[in-house]
């Protein structure tokens, strides 16, 4: 029987013994609402996240569950209404002036749409070096900048000659590489990738995923990787966080979350994703959800998943579900879920 505590899905116990260095990123209880009165919408509701240096955290959940809003909070573009964000132990929202500028360069973003996110009138070299106009001291001097642009181009698998070409002369995958090179220009510690390969062709997607993995090996960059493609998330992530209507409902190591999900929503999500094996009888193992995601203006009482949950009972409407903790290899980051009736590890529902 898993241990049950109160709290939220990534509320990890503090490890005993010697002082542990703070994780690269630690988010606690972040809440963000939009609008007011009857049109008030809670996009993030007490979200916790943690991420170590050089790690990749996959973020999944249905459309509108708050993934991009969370990404904007991590980038400092959106100030949370409540909760804390700590980057290497410091609160980016408390920074001003030079300190803020210094922090900004450490967290970068790669967007979904390589077409819309690049200025069509700038060459690849201009696009990659543009961040240095604000952050002047990262690469000082014109010569050094030229050299660094070439290095960055080669890092993402483009050629020197590409430096003077414009976005519309590149394919989608190449444009996405320019976006990545641009994000790398400031030597960030964390890159937030919001659906970075969704707009790419399958045969090109693999190239971009390879570039991202290679950079992680070579430069130790950490990623928050948002995607609706579960096979991509499984391939790239060390840990996975699952969100539903603004709340983290499950978190754990990739294998645990995919192969031994505890939360009924995670289990349904995993089972609904089509798999390549043509001999697989998809319909047999699929956990069918009723209905659709409730309106974010009208979040159900108790457990927010109860309107679609095949395991829901009266208790689920009456009381907010507790945090269930299952032991993981790393005690500081266990496999957690928010549910009254979590799935047992062994009995993936037949």
Partner 1 sequence: MTTTAVPAAPSADTPALDVEGLCVDLSTPSGRLRAVDGVSFSVRRGRTLALLGESGCGKSMTALSVVGLLDPAAEVTGGAVRVRGSDTLRMSPAERRKLAGPVLSIVFQDALTALNPVQPVGRQIGEPFRIHRGLSRREAREKAIELMTRVGIPEPRERARSYPHQFSGGMRQRLLIAMAVALDPDVLIADEPTTALDVTVQAQIMRLLRDLQDEREMAVVLITHDLAVVAQRADDVVVMYAGTVVEEGPVREVFSRPRHPYTRGLLDSVPEHAVRGRPLPAVPGSPPELSAVPSGCVFQDRCPLVRERCVRERPPLRASGDGRSAACHFSEELARA
Please report, as ranges, the residues that interact with ligand ATP according to CB under 6 A.
Answer: 34-35, 41, 43, 61, 63-69, 296
* Of 62 and 286, CB closest to Mg ion: 62
Q: Is the dihedral of CA 263, 269, 274, 276 positive or negative?
A: negative
Do residues 186 and 136 touch, judged by C-beta distance below 8 A? no
Q: What is the DSSP string of 29-92?
A: EEEEEES-GGG-EEEEEEEEEEE-TT-EEEEE-STTSSHHHHHHHHTTSS--SEEEEEETTB-G
Question: Rounded to whole angstroms, how far apart are CA atoms 133 and 344?
Answer: 54
149 binds, among partner 1, ligand SF4, ligand ATP, none (CB under 5 to 8 A by kind): none
CA proximity to 268, closest of 66, 102, 60:
60
Longest dimension (CA), the chain: 69
Question: What string marks each residue from 53 to 72 as x (binds Mg ion by CB under 5 A) or -?
Answer: ---------------x----
* Of 170 and 305, CB closest to ligand SF4: 305
Which residues inside 157-216 make contact with Mg ion, applying CB under 5 A? Answer: none
Tokens 């309106």 label which residue?
295
Q: CB of 142: closest distance to ligand SF4 in angstroms?
A: 44
* Of 67 and 306, CB closest to ligand ATP: 67
334 binds, among partner 1, ligand SF4, ligand ATP, none (CB under 5 to 8 A by kind): none
According to DSSP, residue 161 is labeled G
* Of 224 and 289, CB closest to ligand SF4: 289
214 binds, among Mg ion, partner 1, ligand ATP, none (CB under 5 to 8 A by kind): partner 1
* Of 38 and 290, CB closest to ligand SF4: 290
Q: CB of 131: closest distance to partner 1 in angstroms?
A: 26
């Amino acid at each position: 029987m898993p241990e049950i505590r109160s709290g939220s899905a990534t509320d990890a116990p503090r490890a005993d013994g010697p002082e542990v260095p703070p994780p690269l990123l630690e988010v606690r209880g972040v809440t963000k609402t939009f609008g007011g009165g009857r049109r008030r919408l809670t996009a993030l509701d007490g979200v916790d996240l943690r991420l170590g240096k050089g790690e990749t955290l996959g973020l999944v959940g249905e459309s509108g569950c708050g993934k991009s809003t969370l990404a904007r909070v991590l980038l400092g573009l959106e100030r949370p209404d409540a909760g804390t964000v700590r980057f290497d132990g410091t609160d980016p929202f408390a920074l001003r002036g030079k300190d803020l500028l210094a922090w900004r360069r450490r967290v970068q973003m790669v967007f979904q749409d390589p077409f819309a996110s690049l200025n069509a009138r700038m060459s690849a070299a201009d696009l990659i070096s543009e961040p240095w106009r604000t952050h002047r001291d990262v690469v000082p001097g014109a010569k050094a900048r030229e050299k660094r642009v070439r290095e960055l181009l080669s890092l993402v698998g483009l050629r020197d000659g590409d430096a003077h070409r414009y976005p519309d002369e590149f394919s989608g995958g190449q444009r996405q590489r320019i976006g990545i090179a641009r994000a790398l220009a400031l030597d960030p510690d964390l890159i937030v990738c919001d659906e970075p390969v969704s707009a790419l062709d399958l045969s090109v997607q693999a190239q971009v995923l390879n570039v991202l993995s290679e950079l992680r090996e070579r430069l130790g960059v950490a990623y928050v990787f948002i995607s609706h493609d579960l096979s991509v998330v499984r391939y790239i992530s060390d840990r996975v966080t699952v969100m539903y209507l603004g709340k983290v409902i499950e978190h754990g190591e990739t294998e645990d979350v995919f192969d031994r999900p505890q939360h009924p929503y995670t289990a349904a999500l995993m089972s609904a994703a089509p798999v390549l094996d043509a001999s697989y009888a998809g319909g047999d193992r699929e956990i069918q959800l009723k209905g659709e995601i409730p309106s974010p203006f009208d979040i159900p009482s108790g457990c927010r998943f109860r309107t679609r949950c095949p395991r829901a009972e009266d208790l689920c409407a009456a009381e907010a579900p507790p945090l269930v903790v299952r032991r993981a290899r790393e005690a500081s980051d266990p496999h957690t879920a928010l549910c009254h009736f979590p799935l047992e590890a062994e009995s993936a529902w037949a």
